[in-house]
């Protein structure tokens, strides 16, 4: 089932963001530090001209991360299928994941099957909750500023994707951070474009 979330670029220091969330009553739940390796079924030439949706829909991600709360390391394979509206905003996402135990073997297997490793993303995400709402505030190596992600919560789960998206935008606005106007930041695509100018 598709989930709706927003991602917004925040023009404030990560520690300021976390401090403000605490002042607003949000409670720290976890910090994930990890690396995503993106492998696509597209060839190297197709990657150069592919849209964000084409890249993501055709990609398998090897995701490795450390969870601070439990001091554990986890590795998984992830596939995301994005639902975009007519303006290119991500209004829904279907995510499938499976836990694996060897990222190197997985990378070799995908490469041997002809998939192209088109991007590697390193990031840290801090999870803060208040009631039913979770705010994920983090940084991406190679990108300026910070990012806040907010996923749909129980009281809006029966709304349409567009209604959910609008509610999440209103919620992030209410937090009062200095942020960009794109509520559907595509971190991996932003990083890819910045490295391939």
pLDDT digits (tens, 9 = 90+) for 82-111: 888 888 778 888 899 999 999 999 999 999
Quote the pTM value.
Answer: 0.92
According to the model, what pLDDT value does residue 83 have? 83
Q: What is the DSSP letter of 181?
A: S
Strands (E), 131-168: 133-140, 146-151
Q: Provide the sign of the torsion angle of the four alpha carbons 104, 109, 114, 119, taken in this order.
A: negative
Residues in the chain, how many? 197
* Contact indicator for 145, 10 with CB cutoff of 8 Å: yes
Q: What per-residue confidence (pLDDT) applies to 196?
A: 85
Residue 3: pLDDT band (50, 70, 90) is confident
Q: How far apart are CA 76 and CA 126, in angstroms?
A: 19
Residue 1: is its pLDDT beyond 80?
A: no
Alpha carbon distance 94, 80 (integer Å): 6
Element (H, E) at 59: strand 59-67
Closest CA to 34 of 59, 63, 62: 63
pLDDT of residue 153: 94
**DSSP category for residue 12:** S
Question: From residue 189, how far is each of 72, 86, 139, 164, 197 by CA, in Å?
Answer: 28, 18, 15, 23, 12
Which residue do the tokens 């009281």 mark?
155
For residue range 17-55, list pLDDT tens digits in order: 999 999 999 999 999 999 999 999 999 999 999 999 999
Cβ–Cβ contacts within 10 Å for residue 143, how many? 17
- Rounded CA-CA distance 182/10 in Å is 10
> Is residue 36 within 8 Å of residue 120, measured between CB atoms?
yes
CA distance linking residue 149 with residue 137, whole number of Å:
7
Contact 9, 178 (CB under 8 A): no
């Amino acid at each position: 089932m598709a989930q709706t979330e927003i991602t917004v670029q925040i023009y404030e220091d990560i520690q300021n963001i976390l401090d403000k969330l605490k002042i607003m009553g949000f409670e720290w739940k976890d910090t994930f530090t990890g690396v995503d390796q993106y492998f696509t079924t597209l060839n190297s030439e197709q990657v150069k001209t592919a849209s964000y949706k084409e890249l993501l829909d055709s990609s398998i991600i090897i995701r490795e991360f450390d969870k601070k709360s439990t001091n554990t390391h986890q590795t998984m394979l992830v596939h995301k299928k994005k639902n975009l509206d007519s303006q290119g905003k991500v209004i829904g996402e279907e995510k499938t994941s499976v836990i694996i135990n060897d990222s190197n073997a997985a990378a070799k297997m995908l490469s041997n099957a002809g998939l192209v490793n088109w991007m590697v993303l390193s990031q840290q995400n801090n999870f803060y909750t208040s009631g039913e709402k979770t705010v994920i505030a983090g940084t991406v190596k190679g990108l300026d500023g910070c990012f806040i992600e907010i996923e749909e919560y129980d009281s809006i789960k029966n709304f349409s994707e567009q209604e959910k998206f609008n509610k999440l935008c209103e919620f992030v606005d209410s937090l009062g951070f200095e942020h960009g106007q794109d509520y559907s930041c595509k971190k991996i695509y932003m990083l890819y474009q910045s490295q391939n100018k």
